[in-house]
Chain A
Amino acid sequence: MTTSRNLTSKQLPQATPWVIAVASIIVAIVIGFLIFGGFNIPVVAVLAGLINMVAVFALSASYEGRRKATDRVATTVVTSAFVLACVPLISLLWLTVSKGGAAINGDLLSRTMLGMKGILDQQYVAGEATLAGGFYHAIVGTVLITIAACVISIPIGVLTAIYLVEYAGKNRLGKAITFLVDVMTGIPSIVAGLFAFALFSTIANLVMPEAAGIAKTGFTAAVALSVLMIPIVVRNTEEILRLVPMDLREASYALGVPKWKTIVKIVLPTSVSGILSGITIAIARVIGETAPIMVTAGFAKNLNWNLFSGWMSTLPTYIYDSQLRPVSPGEAAIASSERAWAAALVLVALVMFLNLLARVIAKVLAPKTGR
């Protein structure tokens, strides 16, 4: 038996981390001035972070001991990582919300770009008219193409993940699929678009050689997005399925439940929250794609409800086009930019809604661990 340890080891007062943090910032500003002769936010931030870290560790280590100090530093690091990561994230969201919020109105949501021309924007900028145009067609395009992409990717992705986790074991096909799915995540989005377009052009040429340009449809875009989406769905689902305890499967098998039913009724419901969250992130990932949509679905200004014929616009292509190729270049480009930000806001709201929906579904189906 070694020495007796004290229960109430010395502990820094609760406010200490905050005091140290504030002190570090002040010291950092001072040092910033002394050494670099000026106030530079990144320099001060980095400096403050380092000083804070060292100070927390030194103080805590001398007072509370090394382990506690490590814990404090780790907590500080993790928390600052979080806060620091939030800065760009919030700035991005804020940019979208503030710019989009200022521009958005019901008309933008209900009109298309049909009949839109630069002179109208010039009049708007000159204060002679209200903002014309809108992106109803792009909202419809986004929703349709995304749904179609989901209809293709989710079954393929989830089933593949099930194959990998439940059936493949360690066989070669399983390993090959796992590996290639990883590779698939690295396909540049434009290549996915070109592939889908080439595929459907070939098919269109075989089926209807006479018709020109029928390969560019919403469905082609959905296929392109699926190429991007499937690996994310597979990867996420696979990881989540592997976490389902073997116990549960055994319990089910022991009741004489066939494997497939065990998977459908026990394994999937247990992991549904994780799977849905993976699907949501996959949707979020592809719903913002620009390049593959432009090469596969063309660029429409009008409303098109038909996935299988005619061009379509989506919110990202709309945003891209409005920002980079304004209806009226020059001074009046600001009008296009306003529409673009409003569309970006709608896109984020759309994903937010999807995310919420997924969470609600997950909550209903997820394991009930509450006691």
Chain B
Amino acid sequence: MPTSTQTTASGPAGEPEPDSHPEPGKGQKPKAVVRPGDRIFSAATLIAGILILLILAGVALFLLAQSTETIKAQMDDPSSITGGKGFFSYVWPLIIGTLISSAIALLVATPFALGIALFTTHMAPRKLAPVLGYVIDLLAAIPSVVYGLWGIALAGNLTAFYLWLSKWFGWIPIFAADENGAVSQTGRTLLTASLVLSIMILPIITSLTREIFLQTPRLQEEAALALGATRWEMIRMSVLPFGKSGIASATMLGLGRALGETMAVAMILSPGLLTASLVVSGNQTIASEIAQNFPEAAGLRLSELITIGLVLFVITLLVNMGARAIVAKTSVKGS
């Protein structure tokens, strides 16, 4: 038995912390004792985690493998790519469209989702709240096709509004009318698609934030109330800070869906060339481009579509990295 020992905390599978204090010669690490039950269980969880990595690696590999044809074509003969000007000029309008629609969806949905979550957890009558939450959960189940049909109906009703927008706010490029002074006759614009997307991601964001708001420790809420905080101040002091990282996660989940949603956008959007204005027809998202062209695609075209899928994958990666960096920066040190 060693004369002196030193152990580190954290779980059996946790990485040992580097020796943080200078005690040369004193510490000799004994083998961590792990019970069979713990070993099996932690191994199971680890395997599950690694399985996810494998799946993701599989998806990435699949995308890469299928993209080689496009990459080759891009190098040998860029004009063979759809649009005739090479892959990048084909894909960048799609990237912009995707980012814009997801950003709008997120900007619209997040405040509403927080509103719903707050309302159902802290404002609604106690008996009513679970029912409301339940109804909103249901919306996650409505298939994209139905959202698509609904969105088409919505689009028709939005044309008047878009006309109005372009009349009064046309000086803002995103609300500008086209050269004939007209907006989309059908209302099937990127703005409409984004609004429908925002409704689609609403239940996903709401569900998680609601669960988190519900978990705010009573002690925290009481601390604020006892200082004479109004309900809103209590929410700002206790509930929102407590839920911060959860809100970020929920938003990321919503973003994932907004980025990847295919069918509803494909049905609603009247795609076209990239335009700054969101009230005329035009623009296209990656997911919708894939959905619309996949059935008839073969050979190089199929590879192109999968390559833009890869691009979307990378976008998701970058957006998530960015979001994480922001969350890490803004969250309070420590705690």
A residues within 8 Å of B by Cβ?
Answer: 36, 40, 42-43, 67-68, 70-71, 74-75, 77-82, 84-85, 88-89, 91-93, 95-96, 155-157, 159-160, 162-164, 166-169, 171-174, 176-177, 179-192, 194-195, 198-199, 227, 230-232, 234-236, 238-240, 243, 258-261, 263-264, 273-274, 277-278, 280-281, 284-285, 287-291, 315-316, 319-320, 323-324, 340, 344, 347-348, 350-352, 355, 359
Contacts and interface: CB of A to CB of B under 8 A. Distances in A.
Contacts of A176: 53
6 contacts: A160-B51, A169-B11, A227-B59, A235-B249, A259-B38, A259-B41
Given A42-B161, A156-B48, A187-B59, A167 B306 contact: no
Interface stretch (B75-83, B89-97, B253-261): B253-261
B55 A182 contact: no
Given A192-B59, A198-B62, A68 B230 contact: yes
A348 B316 CA distance: 29
A277 B137 contact: yes
Contacts of B164: 36, 40, 42-43
B51 A156 contact: yes
Given A166-B45, A277-B211, A278-B211, A95 B150 contact: yes
B233 A71 contact: yes
B62 A199 contact: yes
Contacts of B261: 188-189
Given A71-B231, A168-B14, A355-B138, A186 B312 contact: yes
B93 to A, nearest CB: 17
Interface in B88-147: 111-116, 118-120, 123-124, 130, 132, 134-147
A182 B137 contact: no
B150 A243 contact: no
Given A181-B52, A284-B141, A287-B141, A186 B260 contact: yes
A220 B243 CA distance: 37
A116 B58 CA distance: 40
Interface in B251-308: 252-253, 255-257, 259-263, 286-287, 290-291, 294, 306
B53 A281 contact: no
A278 B53 CA distance: 21
Interface residues of B, number: 106
B63 A191 contact: yes
A239 B320 contact: no
Contacts of A77: 115
A274 B261 CA distance: 25
B313 to A, nearest CB: 7
A348 B58 contact: no
Contact of B58 (A92, A195, A240): A195
B320 A92 contact: no
A344 B142 contact: yes
Interface stretch (B20-28, B176-184, B197-205): B197-205
Which among A36, A155, A177, A289 has the highest number of chain B CB atoms within 10 Å? A177
B136 A89 contact: yes
B97 to A, nearest CB: 14
Contacts of B112: 81, 84-85
Nearest to A88: B199
A93 B116 contact: no
Contacts of A190: 262, 287, 290-291, 294, 309
B252 A185 contact: yes
Contacts of B326: none
Contacts of B58: 195, 199
A315 B143 contact: yes
A187 B316 contact: yes
B309 A188 contact: yes
B49 interface: yes
A136 to B, nearest CB: 18
B35 interface: yes
Contacts of B146: 92, 95-96, 319, 344
A263 B253 contact: no
Contact of B207 (A168, A278, A316, A350): A278
Contacts of A155: 48
Which among A43, A78, A261, A278 has the highest number of chain B CB atoms within 10 Å? A78
Contact of B145 (A182, A189, A320): A320
A179 B135 CA distance: 31
B223 interface: no
Which among B66, B230, B253 has the highest number of chain A CB atoms within 10 Å? B253
Given A185-B256, A186-B256, A259-B12, A191 B309 contact: yes
Contacts of B204: 232, 281, 285
Given A183-B320, A230-B55, A91 B44 contact: no
Given A71-B232, A167-B11, A239-B212, A89 B52 contact: no
Contacts of B170: none
